[in-house]
Amino acid sequence: MPKFGQTMTEGTIVRWEKRIGDHVAKGEVLLKIDSDKATLDVESEQEGYLLAIGAQPGDVVPCGQTIAWMGDRGEKAPAG
């Protein structure tokens, strides 16, 4: 979960804009989250394929926690 602003400690997943297996360009919106102040778009920091999603809509996630894995086509997401 990215941190937007100094006071943000957690965010709530609103909606994933991409599905597992989708190609994602750097800067493309992956998902929307609610912070304590606004609904925000989370953009991908890299290009690749969405391998796995670790948090679902409605989940409250601490900042810094992994919420998705990206990699090359056909690559497996890390276990655990």
| Other beta carbons within 10 Å of 16 | 20
Residue-wise pLDDT for 18-59, tens only, equals 999 999 999 999 999 999 889 999 999 999 999 999 999 999
H helix runs in the chain, sequence order = none
Pairing of strands 29-34, 23-24: unpaired
For residue 61, what are the domain limits?
A: 10-71
Answer whether residue 78 is part of any domain.
Answer: no
- pLDDT at residue 61, as a whole number: 96
- Residue with the two structure tokens 């969405």: 50
CATH code for position 20: 2.40.50.100
Burial of 1 (0-12, 13-18, 19+ CB in 10 A): buried
Count of domains forming the chain = 1
pTM, 2 dp = 0.86
